[in-house]
Amino acid sequence: MKLSTLTLAVLALTFTGCGVESIETVDGEVIEEIPEEPGEEVQALPAGFLGNTTCPFSGKQVDPDSFYEHRGERIYFCTPQCAIDGSKDPDKYRSQVYAETTPVGNTTCPVNGEEIVDPIPAYWQGHEVSLCCTFCLNSFEDDPETFVLAALDSLED
């Protein structure tokens, strides 16, 4: 009995929050509802968080420390195990969590500060930033987070 209890505890901790609805123990018992970890509380996301806020597996709020980085973008998950599972097909989860982009609405280029006449769109983690030229697009691609933040900051001025 101790072995199956230990196995159940390990399985419950492994699959909690990853969209698994039931598990079967070693001795064939099916558990329909997986218990949450004791004392588990959802922490508020940090101010200015620029990633997806919902885990693509469980639908729960993400943990900012549980992510997989793919092509310069972070895909956030609710647990480290979900991040490991998500790393197996990052393109699928990237397109799922950043399916829609939100225009930032900047009118000055975040790379060089020039007024934007013919905007060139650049995308990062669900944000669409306007740039003034292709030269700035190359710079944006080197450090997109910095320039998304600069574009957002320019709106506050």
- 59-87 pLDDT, tens digit per residue, is 999 999 999 988 888 999 999 999 999 99
Tell me what percent of the residues of the chain surpass a pLDDT of 90: 55
Q: For the whole model, what pTM was predicted?
A: 0.65
Q: What does the pLDDT average to over 5-32? A: 42
Question: pLDDT at residue 101 above 70?
Answer: yes
Question: pLDDT at residue 30 above 90?
Answer: no
Question: pLDDT at residue 31 above 50?
Answer: no
Question: pLDDT at residue 45 above 90?
Answer: no
Q: Which of 142, 141, 140 lies closest to 151 in space, CA to CA? A: 140
Give the long-range contacts of residues 24-33, CB within 8 A, separation 24 or more.
29/4
User: What is the structure's pLDDT at 157?
Assistant: 65
- Residue ranges covered by each domain of the chain: 1-36, 50-99, 102-156
Q: What does the pLDDT average to over 123-138? A: 94
